[in-house]
Amino acid sequence: MKTYIQDIERALYDVRDEDKSIYKSDAGLTEEVVRDISARKNDPPWMLEFRLKSLETYRKISLPTWGADISELNMDEIITYVKPNAKQVDDWSQVPDEIKNTFDRLGIPDAEKKSLAGVGAQYDSEVVYHSIQKRLTDQGVVYTDMETALVEHEDIVREYFMTLVPPKDHKFAALHGAVWSGGSFVYVPAGVDVKIPLQSYFRLNAAGAGQFEHTLIIVEPGAKLHFIEGCSAPRYNVTNLHAGCVELFVKEGARLRYSTIENWSRNMMNLNTKRALVEKNGLIEWVSGSFGSHVSMLYPCSVLHGEGARAEFTGVTFAGRGQNLDTGAIVVHAAPKTSANINTRTISKSGGAATYRSAVKVTKNAPFAKCSVNCESLMLDDESRSDTLPVMDIEGDEADIGHEAKIGRISEDAVFYLMTRGISEDEARAMIVRGFVEPIAKELPLEYAVEMNNLINLELEGQL
Amino acid sequence: MLEIKNLHAKAGDKEILRGLNLNVGRGEIHVILGANGAGKSTLMNVLLGHPKYEITGGEIFFEGEDLTTLKTFERARRGIFLSFQNPEEIPGITVENMLRTSKQAVTGEKIKILQFRKELRALMSELQIDPAYAERYMNVGFSGGEKKRNEILQLLVLNPKLALLDETDSGLDVDAVEIVSSGVAKFHNENNSCIIITHNAQILKHLPVTYAHVFLNGRIVKSGGAELVGEVTAGGYAQFEVAS
């Protein structure tokens, strides 16, 4: 059967800049490479030590044997560090034209003027632009790249860095610990409400490179923050690797919304690790859109550590031709009366494979935990694939756990119903697909909701 | 307005319509009575071109145009409307958005959002539909009665030339049937027509029925005036089985 839903329009993202990087590490991962990165970044001694220990761990751990097939990834070919020919500035006019043009096309400076309180832009391995409204710095809010944080807030970074995602967690966490570069650091003091979102945008331009940015966010008691992360890359014929790490600390009564729109090119292995530690009555809200990459394995994890801590996960995944997107969420209920909602939609088309994978664990220490999971999948044709793999491990008493999963196709009866109302077949199908993702779309930041509609870019033949 | 000549249709290998004839003139209301499984709903679906059914013989003309060559949405744009027996749920599309989109598609005109909203709320109030339902997803979580009232709401918004009502009164309590019946009465005038499938005379209370037809085994076996409704209600369909 013919479906009318186009592949995601990638032209905007696929514009490659000429590689004008001023330094690239040798391909592959050796102690020399790690020492070299560390020296170039002027790491304090403890960070060099941390990197070398991570490298040791990396060598000891084998690749995961579950999930999407990542066997085509050859670490000996990945360039772990690419320094762009640009210093970090806080004025777009000082960003080299070529790099600025890229971010212009992606609409970042424009969004900054309209709807953001602070912006970070990373190009390959380094952050090239960073800004934050003075009003926020006056309230003690810190938003910088990780390297600056390591100089100006070394004690805080040292206290938190890779404590929530330790390098021994899995092979790519260890890799990240060894070669991480760039990323964002946010610190929101107790009681401060950051009303306008901060956004970091990660762009990987160099072919065959890896991006290993580290995002560390600490939201102190009673504070509030919305952080947006966007990522994209042009397409190359060699494999690029993204193994970023996101660590979020949500303190007592604090709230953090972390929105991501990931639109990597179709040669990207996206093996990202994201985790939040939520204290008493705190709230983490994940909003996650996965559209790009060749292979993704992404399961943002919420550790509900304090009594009454809450997690909301809202995600949409769209897998087209040649894509295998294995996404979902992890929730660990580790304290009494913690609660979580997981709500996801996945779409697969043109032979794409989308897997929803989740793990909910309720420990013995978490009586009266509440968790509800709702995952729905839509396959737009017969060659596409969709799997749902929810795992629940309940040890706590009086747990209230709900799970609802649906895998389906576009209902021909629903198409007929809309057509009897004068709506053309193509528009009817498009409406049904848009309706399917609507509960997620309405959670996205406005400009991204618009982008998602463009991304899903529905072909409307037989116009009204 | 509508002319059906010797219509045959099948679903899969099963022949359902077997030589059906029916003429509906402007301003007329036709009632179709018939046992379950006789093929009444098939007729409605065939008139709108449901892909499950295949026409194997006969003709359908709507205002002189061969309907069978038109796609479903084109038939709707010509002015044919079907109130479904089991209306579909469409998650993610609100009643108001769906109806505005439909209205635009059917009329070919851009509809002003605020004015449309006002008109929609007025009609909802007449049909005793909670205005909050305008913001709810199409039929999702609606009770059977709410879905049927939502069909009549669409009838009034789209204002077609020919309304097909497929057991719109089934599963409704007395008060709800009254609301639906008044809704259809509000729609009907000398320039449009209705075909109403029902088992229940109550929905016809406010409606000037022109003809009634008894429908058995895929065709009409007896036609008459409104009095036929009374005969069926009193004596059942067995009397007509013999006649056919």
Residues of chain B neighbouring A412 (CB-CB closer than 8 A): 51
Give the model confidence (pLDDT) of B39-79 as tens digits. 899 999 999 999 999 999 999 999 999 999 999 999 999 99
pLDDT recorded at residue A345: 94
Residue B244, both tokens: 């056919």
Question: B-side interface with A, Cβ within 8 Å?
Answer: 48, 50-51, 71-73, 75-77, 81-82, 84, 87-93, 98, 101-102, 104-106, 108, 137, 154, 158
User: Of A211, A201, A28, whose CA–CA distance to A124 is shortest?
Assistant: A211
Instruction: Suggest the residue from B90, B95, B155 to mutate for an interface test with chain A (most A CBs closer than 10 A).
Output: B90
pLDDT over 90, % of chain B? 77
**Minimal Cα–Cα distance from B159 to chain A, Å?**
11
B169 found inside a domain: yes
Distance set, CA A285 to CA A120, A257, A339, A359, A439 (Å): 21, 5, 12, 17, 15
Residue in B72, B84, B91 closest to A419 by CB: B72
| Contact (CB<8Å) B71/A425 | yes
* Owning domain of residue B202: 2-90+161-243
Residues of chain A neighbouring B104 (CB-CB closer than 8 A): 464
pLDDT recorded at residue A463: 25
Return the domain boundaries, chain A. Answer: 23-411, 412-464
The answer on pLDDT for B209 being more than 70 is yes
Which phi and psi angles does A448 have, rounded to 5°?
-80, -30
Asked if A261 contacts A233 with a C-beta cutoff of 8 angstroms, the reply is no
Return all residues near A27 (Cβ < 8 A) that are at least 6 apart: A76, A77, A78, A79, A208
| Contact (CB<8Å) A464/B81 | no
The region of weakest confidence among B92-101, B183-192, B231-240 is: B231-240
Determine the angle formed by the axes of helices A171-179 and A31-40, rounding to 10 degrees.
50
CA A444 to CA B217: how far, in whole Å? 54
pLDDT recorded at residue A461: 30
Give the model confidence (pLDDT) of B139-187 as tens digits. 999 999 999 999 999 999 999 999 999 998 888 888 889 999 999 999 9
The answer on pLDDT for B233 being more than 70 is yes
What rounded mean pLDDT belongs to chain B?
92
Residues of chain A neighbouring B50 (CB-CB closer than 8 A): 416
| Contact (CB<8Å) B50/A416 | yes
Instruction: Suggest the residue from B72, B80, B83, B164 to mutate for an interface test with chain A (most A CBs closer than 10 A).
Output: B72
Q: Total domain count for chain B?
A: 1
B154-186 burial, b at 16+ Cβ within 10 Å, e below that, comes to bbbbbebbbbbbbbbbbebeeebbbbbbbbbee
Residues of chain A neighbouring B81 (CB-CB closer than 8 A): 420
CATH number at B166 reads 3.40.50.300
Consecutive H or E run containing B22: strand B14-24
Asked if A151 contacts A144 with a C-beta cutoff of 8 angstroms, the reply is no
Consecutive H or E run containing A160: helix A154-160
pLDDT recorded at residue A3: 41
pLDDT recorded at residue A287: 94
- Per-residue pLDDT tens digits of chain A, which is 464 residues long: 334 455 656 666 777 777 777 777 777 789 999 999 999 989 999 999 999 999 999 999 988 888 888 888 888 888 888 877 777 888 888 888 878 887 887 777 887 777 787 888 888 877 888 888 888 899 999 999 999 999 999 999 999 999 999 999 999 999 999 999 999 999 999 999 998 889 888 888 777 788 899 999 999 999 999 999 887 777 777 788 999 999 999 999 999 999 998 888 888 899 999 999 999 999 999 999 888 889 999 999 999 999 999 999 999 998 988 899 999 999 999 999 999 999 999 999 888 999 999 999 999 999 999 999 999 999 988 888 999 999 999 998 899 999 999 999 999 999 999 999 999 998 898 889 889 988 888 887 776 776 666 665 443 232 22
Quickly state the pLDDT bin for B223 (edges 50, 70, 90): very high
CA B117 to CA B135: how far, in whole Å? 11
Residue in B51, B89, B101 closest to A423 by CB: B101
**Minimal Cα–Cα distance from B238 to chain A, Å?**
33
Quickly state the pLDDT bin for B242 (edges 50, 70, 90): low
User: Of B1, B38, B60, whose CA–CA distance to B210 is shortest?
Assistant: B1
Q: Count residue pairs from A and B with Cβ separation < 8 A.
A: 84
pLDDT recorded at residue B243: 53
pLDDT recorded at residue A9: 62
Dihedral Cα A377, A380, A386, A391, nearest 10 deg: 0
Residue in A422, A431, A435 closest to B106 by CB: A422
pLDDT over 70, % of chain B? 99
| Contact (CB<8Å) A435/B93 | yes
Residues of chain A neighbouring B72 (CB-CB closer than 8 A): 416, 419-420, 425
pLDDT recorded at residue A230: 83
DSSP letters for A279-333: -TT-EEEEEEEE---SEEEE--EEEE-STT-EEEEEEEEEE-TT-EEEEEEEEEE
pLDDT recorded at residue A10: 65
